[in-house]
Chain A
Amino acid sequence: MTDETSKQTKQTELSERLALLKKNKAFIIGASILAFWVFSAIFGKLVARYDQDFADYESISSSPSLKYWFGTDSSGRDVYSRVIIGSRIIIVISFLATLLGAFIGASLGLAAGYLKGRFDMVLMRILEAISAIPVIIIALLAVAAIGRASSIITILIIGLIFTPNVARTVRAAVLGESELEYVAAAKLRTEKTAHILFREVLPNVLPTLIVEFTVRLGYAIFAVATLSFLGAGLEAGSPDWGTQVADTWSLIFSKIWWPTLFPSLAIASVAVSINLISDALLEVFEL
C-alpha cells in the first residue's frame, strides 16, 4: 500500500534528521561540552584534584602548573578543582530556575491563551509589567528586600522572572492552536476545559516549550553568573564561577589572569554549548 510507504517515509525522515544531527558539528561540540559539565556537576568530586576549600599557602596565585593545572587563586586554592566543583552550582540552579519558570509560565500561558478575555488581558498586563524590569535588576531588588542572597532565592527569582517570557510564548502557541479545529472537535464530544487544555492543546505546544526551555536555560546561566558576580546570587564563599570571577578579576591587571580566565571560560563554554545545541535542534528539526 502506498500508505505503508508514507509511514516508512516518516520513519526514514526521523532517522535522516538524526543522521543530520550527528553530522552537525555545532551540535557535537555543544553536546560534548555540556556532557562534560553535567558529568562534572554529578561526579565533580571524582574529577576534581583537591577539595574546594583546600588552600596551599605556599603557592598563592601560582600560575598553571602540573600540580595545579589552572593555577591557584589568591587564597591558594586550586582553580581547576573549584571550577569543576563549581559547575554543579550553576547547572543545578539554572536548571531548577528554568524548570520553575517553564512550569509556571506554561500553566499561565495555557490558561491565558485558551480562556482569553479578561483573565488574559489582566495576566498579560502583569506579565508585561514584570518583564519591563530587566532580570538582573528585579533580582537585585528582591535580594535587597529579602535581606540576603541565597541559591534558593536565586532559583525562585529567576524562575519567576522567566515566567512572562515562557507564558507569552506558550500563550501565542495556544492562541494559534485553539483556533485549530481539533479544539472545536473536542468541545463537540463534551470535553471539559481542563482536558482540552492539558490533553489536547498542551502536547501540541510542547515542542515550542522545549525550545523555549533551552533558550531560557542559556539565559538562566547568564543571569546566575551575573548575579553571583554582582554578589547578589549566592552565599558568600561558594565556589561558583561568577563569584570566582568577581573575587579575582581585579588581579588580571597584576598579570594574575588564571583564577579569572578559567571560570570565565567555564561560564562561556556552558552558555555556548547550550546555545549550540538549541541552535542545531532548531535547524535540523526546521522549527
Chain B
Amino acid sequence: SSSSESDKTVFRVAAQEQEGPAAPWMTKGGSLGILSAVGAWLIDVAPDGTLKPSIATKWEGTDAGKTWTFTIRTDAKFHDGTPLTADDVVYTIQSHLNPDNKSQSAGRLGDCTSEGIVKVDEKTIRFDLSRVNANFPYLVASSNYGLLIMKNGEKGDESWVTKMNGAGRWIMVSHTMNEKTVFKRNPDYFDKKRIPEFETMEQIQFVSQSAAIPALKTGELDSIHLLNGLEAEALPESDFYRTTVATCGGLHMHMRCDIGQLTDKRVREAIALTLDREAYIKGVMGGYALVANDSVMDSFPTADKKVPQRKKDIARAKELLAEAGVPNGFKVTLQSWKRDDIDKFTQFVKSSCKEVGIDVTVDLDGSDGGGARWYAYSVFPSVKGSKVPNKGEWLASEFGIAEWAGRPTPDEYLAREWFSSGDWNPAYLDAPELDEAITAWQSALTEKEKKNASSAIQKASLVHTPIIIAYNEIRVSVTSNKVKGVEFNAQGAVWSTGKNA
C-alpha cells in the first residue's frame, strides 16, 4: 500500500536559472540540480559536507597523496540499463581532460593527467598525479559536478541533454531548457536509502529563488533549495521545515596594501572595526551565518578560539583614521558584481564606513561575465598585478569583493590568496610574518603544530587586515511539511534524511 501511495507523489522543487545546457562538459552553475539528479559520481558529498561512498566504495591515497586508488562497485547501472564499469570511469575523466571537448570542469582536475588514469582491474582505478594532492578525492566528488560518470563513448556536449544517460538516483523523463525537468525515480539505484520516497521529481526553474516563494506558499512548489535566510525565516514553521548546509567559503573583501588609499593598515583595520557583524548576521541574514574574524582559518577545527573576535568599535576606528592622517575619512570605490548577498553586504560596508566618514561608492557589474570575473574559480585567465586600481577587475581593484567556495582544508586559500606570491592574492600584502606562518602551516604535521600555525596566521591577519571576512554563510533549503525527510547537499542534490525510511 505504501508503494501505491508513493506512486502518486510528485516532488516539485525550484531550480536555479540554467546558464547553459545541462551537459557534463558544458555545464555552468544553473544546471547543477539537473546533473545532481541524474548523475552518479565516484564520491558523494553529503549535506553535512562529508564524503560518502558512491560509485567508489573505497579510496586510498598513497605516496603521500600522489597516487590515489579507487575501488568501484559493480552493481551500478546507467539509465539505459548497461552496467557501469571501470572503463566508463576512465573514459569520463579522460574525456574532460581532452582539450577538444572544451570541458568546463577540466581546470578543476588539478594535477591529474590523462595518462595518469589507469584501469587496474574491473574494480580498481588508479590516479597517478603529477604532484602531491592530499585533497584529490574532493576533486572527483560530486562537488565537481561536471564529473558525473558517463557511459564510455558518449559525448558530454549538448547532445547529452536529450538522454541524460547517467547512473544517478533520478531518470530524466522530460527536459525543457529554462523551464522544467521531470524525473522519475531510478528503481535500479544502488543505494535506496539515499532516495526520498516520491516517484516523480520536477525541477522548475525560477529567475531567482525569491521569485519561487509565492509558488511555494500556494503549494505549486514543495521545496526551494538555497534560500536567503531571512526569507526562509519568514516562511511559517507550521507549514515548512528548513534544512541547512554550513559552508566555509563566502565573501572575501580585499583591500590593496600596495597602492591606493588603503595602504595604511590602520585604515584597513578601521574599516574592519566599523562592521557590526553580529547585528548584520542576525538582522540581514536571519542568523544563517557564523561570525568570521577576517581570516580563512576561523571555520576549521584547527582555529585558535582565543584570538579576540573583532567587534564594532567606532571610537577606535576614528582614532585609527586620525592616526593614519585621514581623520575625516575619504572616498573609495568598492567593486564586485551584482548578486543579492553581495548587494546587501556592500550596502552594509557602505553604511558602516559612513559612520567614520569614509564615503564608499559601490560599483557592481550587472552582467553574467561580472560573476565569472569576481569569482575565484574564474575560468578566464586573470591578469595579475595590474598596478592601476579600480579597473573593474578583481585582481586590480583597490577595494573589492570576491567569492570563494568552501574548501575542505584552508590550504588553497592560503597558498593562492594569502601568500604574498600567491597567484590570486588580490590584496598584494607582503608581510613576512604572515608568509612565515603560512609556510609553517603547510609543513605542519601534528595537530599542535597546525594549531600554532593557525593562531599565527589568525593574528597576522588581524594585524594587517588584507582581507575582511565577516561571516561564513549557512545555506538554507525550505521544504513543505507535506513532503517529509528531504534535504539537499551543497550542489542541490536531493537526499533523503532517512527519517522517513
Contact = CB atoms under 8 A, between A and B. Distances in A.
Interface in A140-159: 144, 147-149
A55 B352 CA distance: 8
Nearest to A76: B283
B283 A250 contact: no
Interface string B208-224: 10110110010000000
A134 interface: no
A77 B346 CA distance: 13
Contacts of A59: 283
Nearest to A144: B367
B354 A60 contact: no
B366 interface: yes
B343 A237 contact: yes
A58 B364 CA distance: 26
B357 to A, nearest CB: 12
B188 interface: no
B346 A237 contact: yes
B347 A55 contact: yes
Interface residues of A, number: 29
Nearest to A254: B234
B279 A253 contact: no
Contacts of A53: 347, 350-351, 354
Given A75-B348, A148-B365, A57 B231 contact: no
B282 interface: yes
Interface in B186-234: 208, 210-211, 213-214, 217, 230-231, 234
A132 B398 CA distance: 43
A255 interface: yes
B214 A74 contact: no
Interface in A106-164: 144, 147-149
Nearest to B282: A57
B483 interface: no
A250 B209 CA distance: 9
Nearest to B285: A60
B234 A149 contact: no
Give chain A's interface secondary structure class: loop
A202 interface: no
A60 B362 CA distance: 21
Nearest to B312: A57
Contacts of B284: 57, 60, 74-76
B111 interface: no
Given A74-B344, A236-B338, A251-B210, A57 B279 contact: yes
Contacts, number: 82
Nearest to A231: B366
Contact of B363 (A61, A231, A232, A236): A236
Interface string B360-382: 00111111000000000000000
B109 interface: no
B280 interface: yes
Nearest to A55: B351
Nearest to B231: A254
Contacts of A61: 230
B367 A147 contact: yes
A212 interface: no
Interface string A250-274: 1101111000000000000000000
B354 A235 contact: no
B344 A231 contact: no
Interface string A235-250: 1110000000001001
Interface in A47-77: 51, 53-55, 57-61, 74-77
B344 A75 contact: yes
A67 to B, nearest CB: 15
Given A57-B280, A254-B235, A237 B350 contact: yes
Contacts of B363: 235-236
Nearest to B215: A253
Contacts of B343: 236-237, 247
Given A60-B284, A235-B363, A250-B210, A256 B351 contact: no
B318 to A, nearest CB: 17
Given A57-B280, A60-B284, A231-B338, A250 B211 contact: yes
B234 A255 contact: yes
Contact of A77 (B211, B340, B347): B347
B276 interface: yes
Interface in B309-351: 338, 340, 343-344, 346-348, 350-351
Contacts of B210: 250-251, 253
Contacts of A74: 230, 284, 344
Contacts of A77: 347, 351
Contact of A148 (B234, B280, B366): B366
Interface in A191-239: 231-232, 235-237
A197 to B, nearest CB: 43
Given A236-B364, A251-B210, A58 B230 contact: no
26 contacts: A54-B351, A55-B347, A55-B348, A55-B352, A57-B282, A60-B283, A61-B230, A74-B344, A148-B365, A149-B366, A231-B338, A232-B366, A236-B346, A236-B366, A237-B347, A247-B343, A250-B208, A250-B210, A250-B211, A250-B231, A251-B210, A251-B234, A254-B231, A254-B234, A254-B235, A256-B234
Given A57-B284, A236-B343, A237-B347, 20 more contacts: A53-B350, A53-B351, A55-B351, A57-B276, A57-B282, A58-B283, A74-B230, A75-B344, A76-B283, A76-B284, A149-B366, A236-B338, A236-B362, A237-B350, A237-B362, A237-B364, A250-B210, A251-B231, A253-B213, A256-B234
